[in-house]
Structure 1
């Protein structure tokens, strides 16, 4: 069976995966881009946006693991758009006409709409269903490859609590947000089911991986 995977998901020292006050002009609320600056300096990211240069060290090695073997993506409504996006029939996500996912991408929302086929192989599907049902649907679309659970923090927390995540890569960024949406609430003790490893980067972030015992 294909795996449920999380990659490159950044949280603050106090556990927030996004800030407060998300809007069309502030996708991560008051956190801005601070949780993701570690990735923007990597060679992987620079190549992705058509630029040269970038670091080749530990951050780059982890960043590159986000794509291989992925056949479908799942994300929450808050990652797809700001509050109220479902009321705008023209809203097609933050990423322009050619989103970076390149796979069937399933949006968990209480406001389903017809699927949207984008450039580059991404098709957005909108489902109002349980995490288990959405994962089952995504696995069918993935054609034997793994499914990436893309976030935000509420979606990852719900899939983690339901035992549906097989491998998770979290990046702990040395900032304090104080408010927003936390990742870890209600997940006490789940680390017992995973092999947990961490590695500190010269950039100041810490990469923490959770791999289900027995994989």
Structure 2
């Protein structure tokens, strides 16, 4: 994601419409669109713009077109025996298809008091994980060595930039220093994609206080 100019949700939507996102990011945006279908109009506008740009572009060489078609036909077709996963109260269908299970089956691991995580893995140079934050829990203040893009699936959190609730996307990079706090009503559960480690920035006293909080 480094250098991909994904500093705003609009930029993310534009690259989604253009088919330029790595697979974890595509799944995140697809899940966002399931939870906030009013955003689909924005994606449709970007797709129309991309179509206009293609129509005005120089003709593609025949050899290039043949190669592109060959790649499409060589792609593995979806299995005819695949069955859709059952409905889920928290996880959108795009996310369930990507990770292969629902919200009631997450093998959480405790990372800090009041904070759990499930590492999905490194995919397309992105570290992909699910997180669970106890209601009222503060995450230690930090910034980012690269980019962190998160989708809230349940509950909400606040930081110095505002409030992020179900279906909202948070984008943070090395220009953002924040201390997310889960709201009191419910755990905050989300999908996180990063391309570099976090860097904690608070004082030692604040950090230790957050660890035991």
Q: TM-score, normalised by structure 2?
A: 0.27
Task: With a CA cutoff of 8 Å and minimum separation of 6, indicate the structure with the bigger relative contact order.
Answer: 1
Structure with greater helix share of residues: 2
Q: TM-score, normalised by structure 1?
A: 0.27
